[in-house]
Amino acid sequence: MTVQPKLIIHGGAGSSLKGKGGLIAVRESLHKIVQDIYNLLAQGGSAVDAVILGAKLLEDEPRFNAGTGSVLQSDGQIRMSASLMDGAAQRFSGVINVGRVKNPIEIAQALQAEDDRVLSDVGAAEMLRVLQLPIHDPLTDLRLQEWMEERKGNFSSSMAGVVAEDEMARRGTIGVVALDQAGRVAAATSTGGKGLERIGRVSDSAMPAGNYATNLAGVSCTGIGEDIIEECLAAKVVIRVTDGFSLQAAMEKSIEEATINRRDLGAIALDAQGNIVWGKTSEVLLAAYHDGTAVGDTLEWQIEPGVGSQA
């Protein structure tokens, strides 16, 4: 039986849209990407292919903190992480702290077929060579200017916490969750990190804490990586669905717990019945979706914290 495909994506979470170019610019960007991904699903494309395409399109958009446009770490280098989870196969793959590549999600994609499915820095660099992916500099002038300004007179200081033009860019990740016509669910997440972090710091984006899917549901997270890891948010929501919660109830309980624990995060989710749900403790969640009929978004959703949905 053919299922109506559904889709939700995000471009980060935080306190405002100012650092991303404003409401109109972000909406136009997210809506176009959603439509491009949905066209693939409508033509019979798989959920895995859809989330890979979506992640690449979001990585290629400089306004989002993943791929081109990633933030710089404390030493002025860009190190990116990404992961992919095929819910039907319940197979996770990821890459941690890789540089000089346009689309980190492509490495995660290739690792789906490997016995060793999560690689960090040196291993990821070797995988780049094996895959013969072209060398790419993801640095943008804006990110370089941000780093230079933020580090003035502070190059000898240890980094802690989040520093950004409006406390938002450093919370950025991108993510995609898709349901295809065969009823399969997949999720992909990618990030440039939180910016100015300690060298070697690992984000949630290449962990099941930040990106998880089964044949029942999929979740991609955004926000402060450490908060997401400590909540194990993506896996927690999906496991609750597995245990009998509706997707809405699973997200509500998880966001309630994150709020009590004073976390700063957001999440998008989709289940095998086509229910689209999102939640956040942050002020803003940059998410957009296609419900099978039309494109919508969460950009003017003011509830804080809270959970929203589109059946």
Whole-model pTM: value is 0.93
Question: Considering the domain boundaries, does residue 1 fall inside one?
Answer: no
Q: How confident is the model at residue 175 (pLDDT cuts 50, 70, 90)?
A: very high
Q: Facing residues of 83 across strands?
A: 94, 189
Question: Considering the domain boundaries, does residue 130 fall inside one?
Answer: yes
Which amino acid appears at position 168 of this protein? M
CATH code at position 125:
3.60.20.30
Res 160 pLDDT > 80: no
Question: Considering the domain boundaries, does residue 233 fall inside one?
Answer: yes
Question: Considering the domain boundaries, does residue 228 fall inside one?
Answer: yes
Question: Considering the domain boundaries, does residue 204 fall inside one?
Answer: yes
Share of the chain above pLDDT 90, in %: 82
Please count the structural domains in the chain: 1
Res 127 pLDDT > 80: yes
Q: Which of 2, 68, 173, 242 is catalytic?
A: 173
**Is 140 marked active-site?**
no
Mean pLDDT value of segment 66-78:
94
Return d(Cα 184, Cα 172) in angstroms, integer. 27
User: Where does 61-187 have alpha helices with state H?
Assistant: 104-111, 121-131, 141-150
Question: Considering the domain boundaries, does residue 236 fall inside one?
Answer: yes
Share of the chain above pLDDT 70, in %: 92
Where in the sequence is the domain holding 264, given as residue range(s)?
Answer: 6-310
Res 18 pLDDT > 70: no
Res 92 pLDDT > 90: yes
Q: Mean of the per-residue pLDDT values for the chain?
A: 91
Tokens coding 248: 């809405």
Res 168 pLDDT > 60: no
Mean pLDDT value of segment 129-148:
91
Please give the pLDDT value at position 108.
97
Res 311 pLDDT > 70: no
Q: How confident is the model at residue 231 (pLDDT cuts 50, 70, 90)?
A: very high
Please give the pLDDT value at position 161.
33
Which residue's structure tokens are 């053919």? 2
Res 170 pLDDT > 60: no
Please give the pLDDT value at position 297.
97
Q: Strand, coil or helix: what is 83? A: strand
Q: Give the pairing type, strands 80-86 and 6-14.
A: unpaired
Q: How confident is the model at residue 152 (pLDDT cuts 50, 70, 90)?
A: confident
Question: Considering the domain boundaries, does residue 166 fall inside one?
Answer: yes
Res 266 pLDDT > 70: yes
Please give the pLDDT value at position 19.
64
Res 164 pLDDT > 50: no
Please give the pLDDT value at position 117.
97
Q: Which of 9, 68, 5 is nearest to 189 (CA)?
A: 9
